[in-house]
């Protein structure tokens, strides 16, 4: 699943070209999001590029404030109203950043579905879940009866027992895991080709997390969808993602196939993250926690944003911003010394 395009080159005509067979479903190129907060505008997303291939799960990973959620939400245009964007978000062959509002509304829900982090907050408390799941279907011109039948089917699909009883229930009457299943059913209702899942399991307990992740993986496979999974949880990523994009301070630190990236990191930040996950089975001592606090995208360190916390930082890292480059087939890293990490 390697693509020929290199993020550093930023192919100028990529937006106009018809999608070649095997081209990625979604291609984010040099995405920039600027938030004008106070006197100095903060470049919270700085030249982020990644791709989501059809039929695969791409994970966006990073600490809080690394810009992973904002990168994902800018795809569907869910940003603060004052935010300014630059770059390209190519969905099949059209740029979503410059798409007309009515076109964006067609894409949302119908072609790209979104699962939110906190299902209780993301469900309208005064509407039954059946009504909320069916909203997009009604808009599509289905009759009341068809909508209900389809909603029941969707509830069954996401593993909610007794859909007939549950369809007329309000969100507060359900458990957290069931609510998240409702959110997933809502996202599935439009039969999207891509699902953006923003920390879909963070608000759930561990056993429920595992069930929801399995459900997502199954659905992705059966419905032939692609998924963009946003999470800070490396274990979740290791289980579900095919490709990962590691973000730090609004920039991509590293991306590539999930297993390779997590097992053989080519960026010191990924390595620190991977080392921090205690392996449950081996009872190993928790490795060196990462020193210092995550960089603030509003006040990013010069050069490589990670250099104040990096164990192998050198003078060059303080001055020169490392570009994301292909260090190995399919592997991209934004570290000056990525090759050293390989050995």
The SS3 assignment for 332 reads strand
- Identify the residue among 61, 96, 136, 147 touching another protein (CB under 8 A): 136
Decide whether 43 or 216 has the Cβ nearer to another protein: 216
Nearest CA to 155 out of 206, 215, 92 is that of: 215
- Identify the residue among 17, 37, 84, 121 touching another protein (CB under 8 A): 121
Number of residues located near another protein, criterion CB under 8 A: 27
What six digits make up the tokens of 23?
């081209």
**Taking every pair of C-alpha atoms in the chain, what is the biggest distance, in angstroms?**
67
DSSP letter (8 states) at residue 299:
G
- Identify the residue among 20, 39, 126, 206 touching another protein (CB under 8 A): 126
DSSP letter (8 states) at residue 188:
H
| Integer Cα distance of 25 and 155 in angstroms | 27
CA atoms within 13 A on the CB side of 330: 12
Q: What part of residues 153-172 is at the interface with another protein (CB under 8 A)?
A: 172
Strands 243-248 and 226-231: unpaired
Contact predicate 62/248, CB 8 Å:
yes
- Identify the residue among 35, 107, 234, 324 touching another protein (CB under 8 A): 107
Long-range contact list for 94-98, CB < 8 A, 24+ apart? Answer: 94/15, 95/15, 97/31
Assess 190 for contact with another protein (CB under 8 A): yes
Decide whether 188 or 305 has the Cβ nearer to another protein: 188
- Identify the residue among 12, 38, 81, 161 touching another protein (CB under 8 A): 81
Q: Which stretch binds another protein (CB under 8 A): 2-10, 91-99, 184-192, 205-213?
A: 184-192
- Identify the residue among 10, 78, 152, 238 touching another protein (CB under 8 A): 78
- Identify the residue among 139, 144, 214, 316 touching another protein (CB under 8 A): 139
End-to-end CA distance of the chain: 24
CB of 319 to another protein, least distance (A): 40
Nearest CA to 334 out of 342, 322, 318, 343 is that of: 322
Assess 118 for contact with another protein (CB under 8 A): yes
Classify residue 169 by burial, with Cβ atoms within 10 Å: 0-12, 13-18, 19+.
Answer: middle
Assess 106 for contact with another protein (CB under 8 A): yes
Q: Which stretch binds another protein (CB under 8 A): 18-26, 131-139, 258-266, 271-279?
A: 131-139
Decide whether 36 or 278 has the Cβ nearer to another protein: 36
- Identify the residue among 12, 21, 38, 125 touching another protein (CB under 8 A): 125
**Which spans of this chain sit near another protein (rule: CB under 8 A)?**
76, 78, 81, 105-110, 114, 116, 118, 121-127, 135-136, 139, 172, 183, 186, 189-190
């Amino acid at each position: 699943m390697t693509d020929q395009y290199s993020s550093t080159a930023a192919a100028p005509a990529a937006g106009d070209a018809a999608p070649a067979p095997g081209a990625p479903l979604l291609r984010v190129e040099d995405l920039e999001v600027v938030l004008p907060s106070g006197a100095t505008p903060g470049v919270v997303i700085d030249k982020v590029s990644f791709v989501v291939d059809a039929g695969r799960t791409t994970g966006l990973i990073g600490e809080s404030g690394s810009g992973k959620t904002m990168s994902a939400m800018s795809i569907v245009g869910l940003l603060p109203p004052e935010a300014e964007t630059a770059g390209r978000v190519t969905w099949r062959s059209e740029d979503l950043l410059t798409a007309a509002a009515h076109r964006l509304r067609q894409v949302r829900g119908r072609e790209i579905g979104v699962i939110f982090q906190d299902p209780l907050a993301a469900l309208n408390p005064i509407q039954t879940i059946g009504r909320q799941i069916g909203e997009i279907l009604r808009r599509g011109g289905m009759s009341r009866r068809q909508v209900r039948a389809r909603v029941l089917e969707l509830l069954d699909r996401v593993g909610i027992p007794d859909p007939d009883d549950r369809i007329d229930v309000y969100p507060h009457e359900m458990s957290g895991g069931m609510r998240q299943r409702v959110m997933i059913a809502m996202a599935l209702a439009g039969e999207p080709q891509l699902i953006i899942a923003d920390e879909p399991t963070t608000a759930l307990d561990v056993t429920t997390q595992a069930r929801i992740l399995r459900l997502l993986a199954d659905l992705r496979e059966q419905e032939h969808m692609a998924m963009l999974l946003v999470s800070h949880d490396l274990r979740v990523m290791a289980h579900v993602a095919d490709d990962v994009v590691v973000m730090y301070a609004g920039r991509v630190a590293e991306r590539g196939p999930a297993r390779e990236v997590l097992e053989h990191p080519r960026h010191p930040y990924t390595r620190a993250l991977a080392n921090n996950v205690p392996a449950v089975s081996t009872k190993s001592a928790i490795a060196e926690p990462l020193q210092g606090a995550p960089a603030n995208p509003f006040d990013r360190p010069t050069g490589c944003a990670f250099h104040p916390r990096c164990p192998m930082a050198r003078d060059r890292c303080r001055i020169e911003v490392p570009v994301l480059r292909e260090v190995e087939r399919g592997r991209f890293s934004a570290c000056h010394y990525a090759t050293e990490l390989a050995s």
